[in-house]
Amino acid sequence: MTIHQSAESQVIPPPISELIDTPTLAAILSVSPTTVRRLVDSGRVPGVVRLGRSVRYRRSVICKWLDTSCAAQIAQGHKGGNR
């Protein structure tokens, strides 16, 4: 690797406002932060970004995930909330 790199080979991090934390995601999903952590551990949440020990989520990926998940549930006739 040389000191001079082309712009194409550099990884550009997302803007800070693009990343949300666990309590914010929990509020968006109307669940507890513990539930968010369990969903992340089971691999059910996309857009996870690990920064050392911190975990953040890409807002755009989460929004797209919610849009497709909700659309899929509507298409399947799932009403939610009933167990």
User: Residue 1: what pLDDT?
Assistant: 42
When computed from its CA atoms, the radius of gyration of the chain, rounded to whole angstroms, is 17
Helices (H), 1-83: 22-29, 33-41, 59-76
Whether 5 contacts 11, CB under 8 Å? no
In this prediction, residue 60 has a pLDDT band, given cuts at 50, 70 and 90, of very high
Domains of the chain: 17-76 (1.10.10.10)
pLDDT (tens digit per residue) in 12-38: 666 667 899 999 999 999 899 999 999
Assess whether pLDDT exceeds 50 at residue 41: yes
